[in-house]
Structure 1
Amino acid sequence: MTDFFSALPNRRAIIDRRAVADRLEQLLAEAAGQDATALRGKIVAVLADALASGRAEAMRRLDAHPTNGRETVQAFAFLTDQILRILYDATLRHLYDPGNRSTSEQMVLLAVGGYGRGEMAPGSDVDIAFVTPYKPTSWTEQVIESMLYSLWDLGLKVGHSSRSIDEMIRMAKADLSVRTALLEARYVWGDRAVYDTARGRFGTEVVKDGARSFVAEKLAEREARHKRMGDSRYVVEPNVKEGKGGLRDLQTLFWIGKYVNRVDNIAGLVEAGLLSPQELKQFQKAENFLWAVRCHLHSLTGREEDRLTFDLQLEVAKAMNFTPRAGRSGVERFMRYYFLMAKLVGDLTGVFLAHLDDQWAVRGRRFMPTLFRRPRKLDGFVLERGRIALPEDDFFQKDPARLLEIFALADKHGLAIHPSAMIAARRDAPLIDNETRKDPRANAFFLDVLTSPRDPETVLRWMNEANVFGRFVPDFGRVVAQMQFDMYHHYTVDEHTIRAVGLLAQIEKGELAEDHPLSSNLMGKLVSRRVLYVAVLLHDIAKGRGGDHSVLGAEVAEKLCPRLGMSAAETEMVAWLVRYHLLMSATAFKRDLSDYKTIMDFVEVVQSAERLRLLLMLTTVDIRAVGPGVWNSWKRQLLSDLYHAAEEVLRLGHKSNGRKEKVDAKLAALKSALNVSEAEFARLAKRLPESYLIAEADDILAHNARHILAAGKAPLSIAAQVYPERGASLVTIYAADHPGIFYRIAGAIYLAGASIIDARIHTTRDGMAIDNFLVQDPLGRPFDEPSQLARIERAIEDALANKQKLQPRLEARPLSRTRAEAFAIAPVVLIDNKASNRFTVIEIHARDKPALLFNLAYALFQSKVTVHSAHISTYGERAVDTFYITDLLGGKIESKSRLQTLERRLLDASEVRAVEQQIAA
């Protein structure tokens, strides 16, 4: 195996094994007579210099050619080979000279796993196996122990095993990971005869006749790994090694090819018929790029880091010379190229498994089972072993509309598409030109897939993988593999869009009725369901163009919808939905829904019940498709509240339900929920202002009333409980009202480890504060442990009683979050005196960070204003906090100079340290 690294240029610049060995021999000869420990120290010292020099040369090459990952990983593997060979020889010659060795004292050193393939990133483990013919002797154990200590002293992370050949075979049969590692075992040094025997027995006793089970286990292992990593190759913080479309997927293909066809290298997959020469080039292109990314990750972090987090994306993009171009930043261009490579890995996987399936089918048994179905009409397409295939290779070329038709047929009949047809579709996708895009048949096929009542998500994803989607809808092609560089969105724009379509189909089929009862109920009431599907497709289609993607997307809709065969009315509705697809979430999450003007402003834009229904469902799937954990019951409740409030206004005769009628209805519901006398209820009702009764839900009013009655004349009463309907915990504070109470409560809740997602602050007519806070833990879940709830109550009590100073404790808490710091977000303060009839509405956009709400609340306290409600939203690294305020006399803030001072204080507060320094001073 001396020429395993024959393609590696100028290997002696990395390490000259002979020169290092000669230097070591001279040094050890001079130290003759010293004990083994001293000699081993000298060996390690020489090898450490050689290792450092070799690593520096490998990294120099990477810096010179930052996208050449293949040469870098080979350089590290070659360097490790030479270090091990020198160490092996020196250990046997100078530390544990065996003299005339018996057969049982023979030993071979193997490279296994990735190191066996000759691939090592800067932070990779050194995976080695010591193999002996029989059970290890005391001499072999001494040699192995000494070598391992030397390797550890060199600072290497070593994964090792020491087994006889019999043990090796037994372990390989029993353990898939051992079998896989040994599959790539490579001779490094030692007794070659032992290696030949071990390799021969592994081939005849383990590999032979075990191909089908190995492939099945490897594919199952791959599926499980994908699920752990998010089950998408388009997650915006991908794992370069283990994620879908990463290095491990390429390695799995090689393992399967090696096991089934006994190939020794990647090029052997072509001879085995598992890849074409062109596909081999694509394999090597993707592998080279992914290895380069992984090497840069290890180099930048100084450890084995395989997750491409936001902060590292910036650094890797810079290291790999991705510069801004055509309106995209360097990091966006880098990540788009990364996702295109991940997509290429997915394409190669499909092709490879298809070739493998065909090989086994020739032998009479397909590997991947498919139900045989024979639809009556396939319009010229044929059925090959249960999958749609082409009757001849130029079938698409004769009529490019068939590139859309094949997907429509696959959806209609519930069939898979033969991999050879997918390969042809990918090859012929460039045939889709303006003439094809205007073809009514092609547009009908596309719309049939998009609005399918079956499984549009799967077929749209196939269409996207074949590049047909982006060719037929060029505006969609512009967002393929386009990441959204923020911590809120989990997927690329195209993946987010396809997932949203899939979620809509699931809602329509009733599969998500428990999570989305309102949307599931409304789906059957739509006048035009295809309007909704097209709007979901187009809602983010204009992202990355440098303007408001909602406005630009509406313009795309106005041009595309007529081409798809939609009427003028449908086109207008789709364009409106795309233009206002963020309106409902912005209103529900950032505004006070108990403020009547909020509802009226929203209804003024929506104008019809059909638009309201469509907008709710578009908003729902848009939020849920952002990523796991983004949708929760709190958002569902807010959207439902807004929908019902807007629907009431839109219904004929809504004016009969005025403010007085609402207050009377609330008091009646409250009275029925309480078991108190008429006189006691009258006294309670007299204390409650109308604004409070309108703002809070009936169950909250009942909870607050019981709290107030139980507190009696106590100056302070705090209660924390789980509130499952909102997916949060409800914290209620009943206390004598005084300036600063809001910021003290906010600081105490933060110190207790909770995040406030909504706050409603009220004052009774006799001067008591009754404040309701909805809080969650850092993962967006309710606090449900009694000890957690007690901790929140205790922290608030201490803060309001001034038992502990908030500021020193807040300053002791960490204030930075590394991932969020990857994003430069300039804080913005928006002050609106028209959004409410009674309040000045202030909206602050800033980078989310610990204690942000406390600092904003303290800035409002300094400004001598009263906070009536607060609405807190986070979008990844970005926080949007909205406050409804008045001056101390209950009026809006009108003074221009006062508004400017307020804005300045809030901007300072967005930089957390600023306020704490003021407080400390």
Structure 2
Amino acid sequence: MTSVEVRKESEDSGDSGPSGYAAARLRLLQEEARSGPPRRSALAELTDGWLNGLFGAGVADLGTSPGELRGVSLIAVGGYGRGELSPRSDLDLLLLHDGGADAAAIASLADRIWYPVWDLGLALDHSVRTPGEARKTAADDLKVQLGLLDARHIAGDLGLTAAMRTSVLADWRNQAPKRLPELRELCEERAVRQGELSHLLEPDLKEARGGLRDATALRAVAASWLADAPREGLAEARRALLDVRDALHLTTGRATDRLTLQEQDQVAAELGLLDADTLLRQVYEAARTIAYAGDVTWREVGRVLRARRAKPRLRGLLGGGKGAVTAAERSPLAEGVVEQDGEVVLARAARPERDPVLPLRAAAAAAQAGLPLSLHAVRRMAAAVRPLPTPWPAEARSQLVTLLGAGRPTVQVWEALEAEGLITRLLPDWERVRCRPQRNAVHTWTVDRHLVETAVRAAELTRRVGRPDLLLVAALLHDIGKGWPGDHSVAGEIIARDVAARVGFDRGDVAVLACLVRHHLLLVETATRRDLDDPATVKSVADAVGSTGTLELLHALTEADALATGPAAWSSWRGSLVADLVKRVAAELAGGTGDEYAEGVGEGGGSGSAPALAPASAEQERLAVEAVRTGAPVLGLRAEAVGGALGPVAGAEQPEPLGVELLVAVPEQGGVLPAVAGVLAMHRLTVRTAELRAVELPEGMSGSALMLQWWVAAEYGSLPQATRLRADLVRALDGSLDIAARLAERDAAYPRRRGTVAPPPRVTVASAGSRRATVIEVRAQDAPGLLHRIGRALEAAGVRVRSAHVSTLGANAVDAFYVTGADGAPLSGERAAGVARGVEEALRA
């Protein structure tokens, strides 16, 4: 039965009052074949016909023919104006009059419409106004203005309704620069109060962030002609939430927007869904679409408003010409990635179809800068980029770690990638946890968002571990097994092995990641449920963990996981119990397995975790001899010269280079490390890994040489000319080049916006690191010139750097420096502590 047939049946029954409408309405709602938009439209049409009849009867009672009445109309506004009537929706009505009719007659007409609605038990939001009053009220009340934007004529003077609509829309567009910021603030305040619809176990479909209110706000933005929301999927998301609300009204018999736990099974059944989890996942997906569209739209609004404010100033400065406004400045962030007007976009020369790492590189750059990824950039990459090879190249793995280690900005960047399907293309196993609800009052987030939040929390703890890359990836994967049946830790271990191998970790790192995922609940469950004074308890944990390096990572993962779960999951009491257990297990591992840190050894990144130095190669010895003979720095030949610039590595020993290999041999002297590191920073070379060592010369040759082996990559753009590097190295070593000043000038000329609030640097002395030198370990956020600053601080402390091992893991630097005093002996405990404090203070400055 169509709505017209229902309305005609009601009219034929001779009852145009509440009972006739109620009967027709009930029959409409009981039609099992009718649901979704068709039912909402039919219900709105049926209600229009009934109200039209009430209006006509009221006019007739005034002694006037409805066709003769001028200057009065009945208008639907708000959700009813949009035709979005759910079974228990209230009616938003405006009785508009031009002021020419008698006030008593208008009041009588209003009563003849309002009272039948109330008699039927329907909620009614009503008002009686002239067009002038309606515009004034809208100017004073943003919510009223939003409702009038959806005004729709029901009965009476159509011309009056059309004139009012025209004037309200004109007011909205004229006042948009003022009203849109107010609307954005209203949306943000509501989000704080109601939370995120895409994660709540008992969400408010209307008020929460990503709900129906936000969808309506996006319509209002579009009506302003100032900006428009991305349309893909938005209408479908809105319809999905309205369908859920319809089912909620039918199953509860109440006008409610909150989807409570006890009603979810019934609502799912009403919608023909498998279960309540399927229902929530559908709601979450719709909410994410709306929330992401809101983020993109409000950024565009802000950009347009900034441009409007800037135009008069620029025209005044440049003579007032119409073409005075120049294009937004583009600042490079990474290879193929630039910042423009507050967003991260692709460089003009970027070629996503040829660069499969570009999505991760762009995402990492955006998160590190605290900037959103441009919608156009994400969609272009999603459409053009090729899949990454298996295993991933080292750069892709490094960029993933950098993205995960950026802290809070990671969330919005991750959501942008996920909105266009890039996350599941990078990590196919993500699909099983995406939007998956967690029916546990302790958990704040869905499974996928919890994993990202755990990475955010882990980023704050990276200074506590020697392998921050393993910590961050374990944080992302620790609950990945919740998408599969059975114990999620057991399932997760299998998935983690597969993902880690695909991402490109070596066999040892894969084993550590699998162990972390399998036992991510071990510490907290043992600490809170078992007797820690029982040696068997401690031994069982030690056997499961296997090494102090893995224990260190598991401790940090445990804390990050709990903090990301919710406020009830972690406390100082639990933290102290876990810390006590970790201390006991570490003692068991050190005493029972001999897992002590020798020079160059320390699995999992414990103190003194630098790898042992391999003997110098014949090529390195040759370069050292040449450096001593000429008394000048010599650049290695392992980095081929192509057109005079550093080119790709030929015959690299590393199975998967992170950049190009650069060998620098210099006669042994003070200040080598800060000088060479400073020159590389000047030329915008990012150091991935590095080693410094003294090279023994052949018998009969006096003097000594230092060999620095670097793996470097251009921050962006092409690699520098080898001749320029050599020239600057000579000047840096003879003191004629002021590196610190040059780096300061570069930073001033090209300011880099850093959105990441990184943990403070941590500099420690590895007490058992070496018997021949003192090991100073530095863990800090990687940044241009970091090695130069560390080298200068060590030089200022008056120590000699016997060897150095530098690693950049994502955005984290984990460096070990083996230093001695001028006499070549290890430092005393007091002096070593003083050197560590000095380096840390220099890095904090």
> How high is the TM-score relative to the length of structure 1?
0.57
Name the structure 2 match of 1:56. Answer: 27
- Structure 1 residue 210 corresponds to structure 2 residue 180: no
> Which SS does the other structure have where 2:146 is aligned?
helix
Q: CA deviation at 1:230?
A: 2.0
Equivalences for 1:687-706 in 2 at 5 Å? Answer: none
Name the structure 1 match of 2:467. Answer: 528
Name the structure 2 match of 1:76. Answer: 43
Name the structure 2 match of 1:545. Answer: 484
Amino acid in structure 2 at the alignment position of 1:14: V
Name the structure 1 match of 2:378. Answer: 422
Q: For 1:437 and 1:651, how far apart are their aligned partners in 2?
A: 35
Amino acid in structure 2 at the alignment position of 1:574: L
What are the Cα deviations for residues 305-352 of structure 1, in whole angstroms up to 9, with x where unaligned?
A: 2222333222222222223xxxxxx43333333333333323433554
Q: For 1:100 and 1:128, how far apart are their aligned partners in 2?
A: 19
Q: Which residue of 259, 283, 287 corresponds with 1:308?
A: 259
> Which SS does the other structure have where 2:224 is aligned?
helix
Q: For 2:589 and 2:66, how far apart are their aligned partners in 1?
A: 98
> Which SS does the other structure have where 2:209 is aligned?
coil
> Which SS does the other structure have where 2:290 is aligned?
helix
Name the structure 2 match of 1:246. Answer: 211
Closer, same or farther: CA 441–133 of 1 in aligned 2, 3 Å? same
Equivalences for 1:770-919 in 2 at 5 Å? Answer: none
Closer, same or farther: CA 385–287 of 1 in aligned 2, 3 Å? same
Q: Which residue of 116, 131, 146 corresponds with 2:96?
A: 131
Q: Which residue of 622, 625, 630 corresponds with 2:564?
A: 625
Closer, same or farther: CA 335–618 of 1 in aligned 2, 3 Å? same
Q: CA deviation at 1:163?
A: 2.3
Closer, same or farther: CA 86–462 of 1 in aligned 2, 3 Å? same
Name the structure 1 match of 2:397. Answer: 443
Counterpart contact for 1:450–1:460, Cα < 8 Å: no
Amino acid in structure 1 at the alignment position of 2:270: A
Q: Which residue of 590, 601, 605 corresponds with 2:529?
A: 590
- Structure 1 residue 11 corresponds to structure 2 residue 3: yes
- Structure 1 residue 471 corresponds to structure 2 residue 420: no
Name the structure 2 match of 1:496. Answer: 450
Amino acid in structure 1 at the alignment position of 2:52: R
What are the Cα deviations for residues 788-818 of structure 1, in whole angstroms up to 9, with x where unaligned?
A: xxxxxxxxxxxxxxxxxxxxxxxxxxxxxxx
Q: For 2:349 and 2:207, how far apart are their aligned partners in 1?
A: 36
What are the Cα deviations for residues 49-75 of structure 1, in whole angstroms up to 9, with x where unaligned?
A: 322322331441xx325xx52222222
Q: CA deviation at 1:173?
A: 0.7
Q: For 2:296 and 2:64, how far apart are their aligned partners in 1?
A: 53
Counterpart contact for 1:73–1:291, Cα < 8 Å: no
Q: For 2:527 and 2:380, how far apart are their aligned partners in 1?
A: 47
Amino acid in structure 1 at the alignment position of 2:145: R
Q: For 2:376 and 2:262, how far apart are their aligned partners in 1?
A: 40
Q: Which residue of 155, 158, 174 corresponds with 1:192?
A: 158
Q: CA deviation at 1:355?
A: 6.3
Name the structure 2 match of 1:456. Answer: 410
Counterpart contact for 1:382–1:389, Cα < 8 Å: yes
> Which SS does the other structure have where 1:417 is aligned?
coil
Counterpart contact for 1:588–1:639, Cα < 8 Å: yes
Closer, same or farther: CA 441–616 of 1 in aligned 2, 3 Å? closer
Q: Which residue of 325, 338, 349 corresponds with 2:283?
A: 338
Counterpart contact for 2:197–2:211, Cα < 8 Å: no
Q: CA deviation at 1:169?
A: 1.8
Name the structure 2 match of 1:93. Answer: 60
Counterpart contact for 1:503–1:621, Cα < 8 Å: yes
Name the structure 1 match of 2:343. Answer: 387
Closer, same or farther: CA 543–160 of 1 in aligned 2, 3 Å? same
Q: Which residue of 258, 262, 265 corresponds with 2:223?
A: 258
Name the structure 1 match of 2:134. Answer: 168
Q: Which residue of 239, 243, 247 corresponds with 1:288?
A: 239
Closer, same or farther: CA 633–52 of 1 in aligned 2, 3 Å? farther
Q: CA deviation at 1:365?
A: 5.7
Equivalences for 1:716-731 in 2 at 5 Å? Answer: none
Closer, same or farther: CA 155–232 of 1 in aligned 2, 3 Å? closer
Counterpart contact for 2:333–2:365, Cα < 8 Å: no
Q: CA deviation at 1:181?
A: 1.0
Q: For 1:13 and 1:619, how far apart are their aligned partners in 2?
A: 63
> Which SS does the other structure have where 2:207 is aligned?
coil
Name the structure 2 match of 1:158. Answer: 124
Amino acid in structure 2 at the alignment position of 1:124: S
> Which SS does the other structure have where 1:483 is aligned?
coil
Amino acid in structure 2 at the alignment position of 1:216: P
Q: CA deviation at 1:233?
A: 2.2
Q: For 1:476 and 1:366, how far apart are their aligned partners in 2?
A: 45
Closer, same or farther: CA 609–260 of 1 in aligned 2, 3 Å? same
Aligned CA-pair RMSD: 3.6
Q: For 1:374 and 1:150, how far apart are their aligned partners in 2?
A: 62
Counterpart contact for 1:404–1:446, Cα < 8 Å: yes
Per residue, is there more helix in 1 or in 2? Answer: 1
Which structure would you say has the larger RCO, counting Cα contacts within 8 Å and 6 or more residues apart? Answer: 2
Aligned length: 578
Q: For 2:279 and 2:205, how far apart are their aligned partners in 1?
A: 14
Amino acid in structure 2 at the alignment position of 1:224: E
Counterpart contact for 1:354–1:419, Cα < 8 Å: no
Q: CA deviation at 1:117?
A: 1.0
Name the structure 2 match of 1:482. Answer: 436
Name the structure 2 match of 1:849. Answer: none
What are the Cα deviations for residues 687-706 of structure 1, in whole angstroms up to 9, with x where unaligned?
A: xxxxxxxxxxxxxxxxxxxx
> Which SS does the other structure have where 2:129 is aligned?
strand
Counterpart contact for 1:470–1:478, Cα < 8 Å: no
Q: For 2:567 and 2:92, how far apart are their aligned partners in 1?
A: 35
Q: Which residue of 373, 384, 387 corresponds with 1:432?
A: 387
Q: For 2:151 and 2:374, how far apart are their aligned partners in 1?
A: 35
Counterpart contact for 2:73–2:161, Cα < 8 Å: yes
Q: CA deviation at 1:626?
A: 2.3
Q: For 2:542 and 2:372, how far apart are their aligned partners in 1?
A: 45
Name the structure 2 match of 1:410. Answer: 366
Q: CA deviation at 1:481?
A: 1.8
Q: For 2:416 and 2:165, how far apart are their aligned partners in 1?
A: 41
Counterpart contact for 2:337–2:350, Cα < 8 Å: no
Q: Which residue of 145, 158, 161 corresponds with 2:111?
A: 145
What are the Cα deviations for residues 820-863 of structure 1, in whole angstroms up to 9, with x where unaligned?
A: xxxxxxxxxxxxxxxxxxxxxxxxxxxxxxxxxxxxxxxxxxxx
- Structure 1 residue 119 corresponds to structure 2 residue 84: yes
Counterpart contact for 2:390–2:504, Cα < 8 Å: no
Equivalences for 1:648-797 in 2 at 5 Å? Answer: none
Q: For 1:98 and 1:498, how far apart are their aligned partners in 2?
A: 67
What are the Cα deviations for residues 876-909 of structure 1, in whole angstroms up to 9, with x where unaligned?
A: xxxxxxxxxxxxxxxxxxxxxxxxxxxxxxxxxx
Unaligned runs of 5+ in 1: 1-8, 28-42, 262-272, 324-329, 509-522, 655-921
> How high is the TM-score relative to the length of structure 2?
0.62
Among all aligned residue pairs of Structure 1 and Structure 2, give the percentage whose two residues are the same amino acid. Answer: 29
Q: For 1:488 and 1:164, how far apart are their aligned partners in 2?
A: 53
What are the Cα deviations for residues 611-651 of structure 1, in whole angstroms up to 9, with x where unaligned?
A: 44322321222222224554445544544454455556667
Q: For 1:197 and 1:411, how far apart are their aligned partners in 2?
A: 49
Counterpart contact for 1:360–1:366, Cα < 8 Å: no
Q: CA deviation at 1:152?
A: 0.8
Q: CA deviation at 1:536?
A: 0.6
